[in-house]
Structure 1
Amino acid sequence: MTIAPITSHLDRWADAKPDARAVSYGDIDYSWSRFRARVHANAAAQCATGIEPGDRIAFLDKNNLTCLETTLGAALTGAANAVINFRLSAAEIGYIINDAQAKIVIVGPEFAELVDGLRASLPTVQRVIVTGGDDDEYEAWLAAGSEAFEPVAFDPDTCFLQLYTSGTTGHPKGAMLTHRSLDAHNAAAVAGFNFTADSVNMVAMPLFHVGGSSWSLAGISVGAQTVVVREVVPTAVLDEIEARGVTHAFFVPAVYGFFLAEPRVADRDYSRVRCLGYGGSPMPLPTMRACLQTWPRADFYQVYGMTEMSGVFSVLGPDDHRDAAHPERLVSAGRPLPGTTVKVVDSDGNTLPVGEVGEFWTQSQQHMLGYWGRPEATAEALVGDDWLRTGDAGRMDDGGYLFISDRVKDMIISGGENVYPAEVERVVIEHAAVADVAVIGVPDDKWGETVKAVVVLVDGASVTEAELIVHCRAQLAGYKTPKSVDFLSELPRNPTGKVLKREIRKKYWEGRTLHT
């Protein structure tokens, strides 16, 4: 496969249909030629501000069209846009900015004060640029760029988008996504979701998620109009789907639940909707059935993906959603997309027979270059003959469908957000009254799972559930903060001392299936 610069798609459509609508954001509509001009102005402004190949820019805001402009601008300068989860705590945001060694921080108005409070602890940051609001600096920054800008020489393995994933060490890691990996993802996604040049693609997932940034780049690659949603307000999103004639959209299952609760959800014009994707956590079967009734003419796609794979790599397609002969496949993660091979291996990396549970490994052009500044973590993730360890355990049936049965690294998925217990445990154990802790996911009808801390107290010490939650909330994002705390006299462990989280989970998951 010939690898093209990610911006070549923008050039193609700006030349082919310069006046057609390319992107929409609130009351903003840009044509393809105008959008390309703004991306080039962003790249020029990066250079004028001292950004060089290999540098990182940090972007902190809710969904904003300027984030896409910065990502594509970085693809021209040889830099990378490190998009930060705006839901993180101040300490976590500061950690990522410093880990990326960002020279520039582009920040939305709601988060400008937070970044200002961190400035003294951000040694590499040379400039902060506010985008949007009454104090917008972004437009003036674009205008100050040099018109003589020239793109850097193309290297398919240059990282231009750096997305952070939480790690089992308790600190997030920057997955480096490249022209090669995202070009491969574009091709797979376009074929897998039937994107066409007349598609209207809604981007509602956060752009700090691979499901936001990669979903948007896939639509752009085929010439589709992109509709960027700043935040998911159910009524407003449904209004936008109707008014814009959206054909393609992707949401986490919890959002579909919010839609179904809207009084007018079934009374709207969805005649143009062709593709509704979902993923990040399992779709409860009652919700799935209600969705099929509400959008009977739409094709539903369940996706299985990960940041390290530049997005989706396995899909349960529309025919499978309505296959009465195989209802069990509704709880599968579908089959790998063309270009990706998946195998199931044991703890020694040996391929297992069909039906046996092991770890999923993938081989694909879509996989990341590696983790920024983490050669050891990269070596653990990328193994053998270019295989990527997913960290997910499951089995493959004789039809090639993937069934995820557990989390190799105990990850919790709450409302589509990944929570690694080690991150939370690191904060809980800092409380003086806590001697030992295990963090697990417990079932929740709204979010799929929520975070629970199971705590052993120091002899003679006392602390309430509410006090521990307040302690965590000061240092963790809301979705990572435990929603409940249970107290035990000791945690179950195996002979080597490892906490047996499966034993802890049992009573909470009794009678329910644990999916990823």
Structure 2
Amino acid sequence: MTGVLDPVCRHAAETPGNIALRGDADQWTYLQLRDASTRYAGALAAAGLSPGDRVLLAAPSVPEFVVAYLGIQAAGCVVVPVNTMVTRAEVEYVLGDAGCSLAIAWQALGPGVAEAAAALKVPFRPLSPGASVTGATPADVVDRDRDETAAIPYTSGTTGRPKGAQLTVGNLLSAGEIGAACSRASSADRIGTGLPLFHVFGQASVLMASLTAGASMSLLARFDPASMLEMLRRDRLTIMAGVPTMWNAMLHAAGDADPAAFTQLRVAVSGGASLPGEVARAFEARFGCTILEGYGLTETTAFGTFNDDDRGGKTGYTGRAVPGLQVQVRDSDGNECPPGTVGEVHIKGPTVMSGYWNRPADTAAAISPDGWFRTGDLGETDTDGDLRIVDRVKDLIIRGGYNVYPGEVEEVLYEHPDIVEAAVIGVPDDHYGEEVAALIAARPGSELGAAEVSSWARERLSAYKIPRIVRFVDALPKGPTGKILKRSIDRGALTRDTAPGDVAVRPR
């Protein structure tokens, strides 16, 4: 038998009483999780679902998400996970594009998914606490090939309509094995996260890794730094997973907490965006643990590179290729770049998707005939072979002929004690082609001004990299994982006149 439920079935047989999942007020053993998942699969089969059918799933990070997700897998169907904040129009697009046969949504989410399903005449099923299914009997787990599609998460759509990445059974099982190996997780570990499970980071590299290792996984339905700290203490977490904005928020919420209060926490896994060095150093000092950064994409089932636990985290770098994967930085001619030279990151291995759903041209453009995936990310390696992500190819700012990598500028801004969040983008400029702009969320009560930001940057960066436009906001727009969404920033507003003090003087 091969299937995404395999790790759960294995632990249910060997250690049935071990805790698999912890929610806000309940917990599930591996035996309970297996039985609930196969009952859910039985209910799907009874409703007329067949292997290969696509099933949309919208739910927060609660144990019931996992039951439904694994139940869909056990039935041989394909999970199409969507953001819980998805609009009706967005649901209709995904339902139609993926050709879904059923839509499932957490009962507390509101009517959007149900209404979208009704509009397209797609059956709808609410997901309730306990993931109970009336009158369902456990189904036999459908045996599947490793190259069969198991999940179709949709990409963010920064370059047009979202595309569905076809992740196979083998992709997800490999992600679980790689994730467990990278974090050295075992059945003794207590893993926790505030990441959304509908996103590939939480779904593949955290959930699948935890289930593969036979560990317990504590889930926070919605990230809140105080709640995450409480979960860390209550469940005595040994491993946490999150994105840089989460670590920064926890730092501010922790106040003067003594690192001795978190002695059981041995590693924090960071991904989703580049981790500012200042945040990493402060987090490690406050929580007394190693923070290890990794890099991957939806199309690579969340994996690419990871920092080695033995060597510790190397500030600014995402480590080397994880076991089983190859990672190369290539120039525009396709040649591998020497250390210290920026190029596009390419990935090959068992976690690379099979392709984009019903988009053969996009698949051919992204994946070469020999299996290398073009990430669209700019990076460089050092002499140790560690990868540093510089920026997205499309985020590169070219100011007066000079390349400005926003991540480098943001790293400097995050070193300022009054800056909580920062996003650097390029905006059109008649003289330079593009100008460097920075949106900043300052520490509450701070009197930080644009002139001080410019002075801070000027002392640490070359002249052409200094943000000439500085705008202060209460908070930056973020996606479901907490990753800052630069595409949501109104670049036009940054070029218009603003109140005195909002924009720094722009010397020519």
> Is the TM-score greater than 0.5?
yes
| Cα drift, residue 37 of structure 1 | 0.4
Question: 1:274 aligns to what?
Answer: 266
Question: 2:113 aligns to what?
Answer: 115
- Report which stretch shifted further, 104-113 or 46-55: 104-113
Indicate the structure whose relative CO is greater, using CA pairs within 8 Å and at least 6 residues apart: 1
Question: 1:196 aligns to what?
Answer: 186
Partners in 2 of 1:450 and 1:122 — Cα distance?
41
Q: Which amino acid aligns with 1:21?
A: I
Offset from partner CA, 1:365-424 (integer Å, 9 cap, x none)? 111121112111111111131111111112222211112223123399xxxxxxxxxxxx
**Alpha-carbon distance change, 84 to 271 in structure 1, aligned in 2, over 3 angstroms:** same
Aligned ranges 1:2-17 → 2 under 5 Å: 4-17=2-15
Structure-1-length-normalised TM-score: 0.76
Offset from partner CA, 1:413-445 (integer Å, 9 cap, x none)? xxxxxxxxxxxxxxxxxxxxxxxxxxx999584
Partners in 1 of 2:367 and 2:71 — Cα distance?
28
- Are residues 1:159 and 2:124 paired? no
Aligned ranges 1:312-351 → 2 under 5 Å: 312-318=303-309, 320-321=311-312, 329-351=314-336
CA contact (8 A) 2:280 2:291 kept: no
Question: 1:47 aligns to what?
Answer: 45
Question: 1:395 aligns to what?
Answer: 380
Q: 1:220 aligns with which of 196, 204, 211?
A: 211
CA contact (8 A) 1:107 1:128 kept: yes
CA contact (8 A) 2:343 2:380 kept: yes
**Alpha-carbon distance change, 263 to 218 in structure 1, aligned in 2, over 3 angstroms:** closer
Q: 1:294 aligns with which of 275, 286, 290?
A: 286
- Could you tell me the percent identity over the aligned residues? 27
| Cα drift, residue 340 of structure 1 | 0.8
**Alpha-carbon distance change, 455 to 255 in structure 1, aligned in 2, over 3 angstroms:** same
Q: Which amino acid aligns with 2:20?
A: A
Aligned ranges 1:352-363 → 2 under 5 Å: 352-363=337-348
SS in 1 for 2:80: strand
Partners in 1 of 2:369 and 2:114 — Cα distance?
45
SS in 1 for 2:261: coil
Instruction: For structure 1, list consecutive stretches of 5 or more residues without a partner in the other structure.
Output: 323-328, 413-439, 457-475, 490-506, 511-516
Question: 2:223 aligns to what?
Answer: 232
Partners in 2 of 1:275 and 1:293 — Cα distance?
13
| Cα drift, residue 305 of structure 1 | 1.1
Offset from partner CA, 1:255-285 (integer Å, 9 cap, x none)? 1111111255624721221110112122222
CA contact (8 A) 2:22 2:217 kept: yes
CA contact (8 A) 1:39 1:70 kept: yes
- Report which stretch shifted further, 403-412 or 93-102: 403-412
CA contact (8 A) 2:300 2:352 kept: yes
- Are residues 1:379 and 2:364 paired? yes
CA contact (8 A) 2:64 2:127 kept: no
Q: Which amino acid aligns with 1:379?
A: A
Partners in 2 of 1:318 and 1:179 — Cα distance?
28
**Alpha-carbon distance change, 156 to 131 in structure 1, aligned in 2, over 3 angstroms:** same
Question: 1:502 aligns to what?
Answer: none
- Are residues 1:35 and 2:39 paired? no
| Cα drift, residue 184 of structure 1 | 1.6
Offset from partner CA, 1:429-473 (integer Å, 9 cap, x none)? xxxxxxxxxxx99958444427887699xxxxxxxxxxxxxxxxx
Offset from partner CA, 1:306-336 (integer Å, 9 cap, x none)? 11111122112355557xxxxxx41122111
Question: 1:503 aligns to what?
Answer: none
Aligned ranges 1:73-222 → 2 under 5 Å: 73-123=71-121, 125-132=122-129, 138-139=131-132, 142-147=133-138, 149-214=139-204, 215-222=206-213
CA contact (8 A) 2:103 2:117 kept: no
Partners in 1 of 2:107 and 2:429 — Cα distance?
38
Partners in 1 of 2:256 and 2:355 — Cα distance?
42
Q: 2:489 aligns with which of 482, 485, 494?
A: 482
**Alpha-carbon distance change, 318 to 221 in structure 1, aligned in 2, over 3 angstroms:** closer
Q: Which amino acid aligns with 1:197?
A: S
Instruction: For structure 2, list consecutive stretches of 5 or more residues without a partner in the other structure.
Output: 398-405, 414-418, 431-478, 497-502
SS in 2 for 1:165: coil
**Alpha-carbon distance change, 411 to 373 in structure 1, aligned in 2, over 3 angstroms:** farther
Q: Which amino acid aligns with 1:226?
A: M
CA contact (8 A) 1:106 1:131 kept: no
- Report which stretch shifted further, 225-234 or 84-93: 84-93
| Cα drift, residue 174 of structure 1 | 1.3
Partners in 1 of 2:491 and 2:344 — Cα distance?
30
CA contact (8 A) 1:259 1:265 kept: no
Partners in 1 of 2:225 and 2:252 — Cα distance?
9
Count of equivalent residues: 429
Q: Which amino acid aligns with 1:29?
A: Q
CA contact (8 A) 2:149 2:166 kept: yes
Q: Which amino acid aligns with 2:149?
A: C
**Alpha-carbon distance change, 46 to 454 in structure 1, aligned in 2, over 3 angstroms:** farther
Q: Which amino acid aligns with 1:310?
A: T
**Alpha-carbon distance change, 485 to 90 in structure 1, aligned in 2, over 3 angstroms:** farther
CA contact (8 A) 2:344 2:376 kept: yes
Structure-2-length-normalised TM-score: 0.77
Q: 1:409 aligns with which of 394, 404, 408?
A: 394
CA contact (8 A) 2:427 2:495 kept: no
**Alpha-carbon distance change, 487 to 217 in structure 1, aligned in 2, over 3 angstroms:** closer
Partners in 1 of 2:91 and 2:217 — Cα distance?
28
Question: 2:245 aligns to what?
Answer: 254
Partners in 1 of 2:372 and 2:100 — Cα distance?
30
SS in 2 for 1:249: strand
Partners in 2 of 1:91 and 1:9 — Cα distance?
36
Partners in 1 of 2:254 and 2:124 — Cα distance?
46
Partners in 2 of 1:114 and 1:278 — Cα distance?
32
**Alpha-carbon distance change, 168 to 377 in structure 1, aligned in 2, over 3 angstroms:** farther
Offset from partner CA, 1:78-112 (integer Å, 9 cap, x none)? 21111101233332232122222222221123423
Partners in 1 of 2:394 and 2:2 — Cα distance?
35
CA contact (8 A) 1:21 1:29 kept: yes
| Cα drift, residue 202 of structure 1 | 1.0
SS in 1 for 2:52: coil
Aligned ranges 1:411-430 → 2 under 5 Å: none
Partners in 1 of 2:127 and 2:188 — Cα distance?
34
Partners in 1 of 2:256 and 2:65 — Cα distance?
30
Partners in 2 of 1:295 and 1:317 — Cα distance?
19
